[in-house]
Amino acid sequence: MQVKDVMRKPAVITDNISLGEAAGLMTSKGVDSIIFARNDKLGGIITESDLIRNFGKRETVGDVMTRKVVVIESSKNLEAALALMKEKKIKRLPVVEKGKLVGVITVTDLMAHAEELEEEFLFE
């Protein structure tokens, strides 16, 4: 099974918003991360953990988002996504096609499809 078969539509912002607005957006969309992108080009990612660590210390998403984002191509298999998450110790991967953002896949998505994985699903 490929990443594109499991990925979801990401929560995306195109403008630098406050951390409070980001928290509200995460709540309303039921997600734990927001991707900053313009014209399908990835600029960064902010997670719920980033918000918690920085709330009251910083003001905007641009102040705290991770700019060097690890991504995965939509055509890669789920094993590649799992291996990359384990290697980088991350829980979500923006999904790209030819450099353009098309989705997001999380460790929870992989857990839901654990029977499709060739290796045992252990995430530390």
d(CA 28, CA 44): 20
Give the end-to-end CA distance of the chain in Å, rounded to a whole number: 23
Span 4-9, average pLDDT: 96
Q: pLDDT tens digits for 40-85?
A: 789 999 999 999 999 889 899 999 999 999 999 999 999 999 999 9
d(CA 46, CA 110): 20
3-116 carries CATH number 2.70.70.10: no
Specify whether the backbone of 22 is left (phi greater than 0), alpha (psi in -120 to 50) or beta.
alpha
Q: pLDDT tens digits for 91-124?
A: 999 999 998 999 999 999 998 988 877 665 555 5
Residue 27 DSSP one-character state: H
Q: Where are the domains of the chain?
A: 3-116
Residue 36 to residues 24, 33, 106, Cα–Cα distance (Å): 15, 10, 17
The reported pTM is 0.87
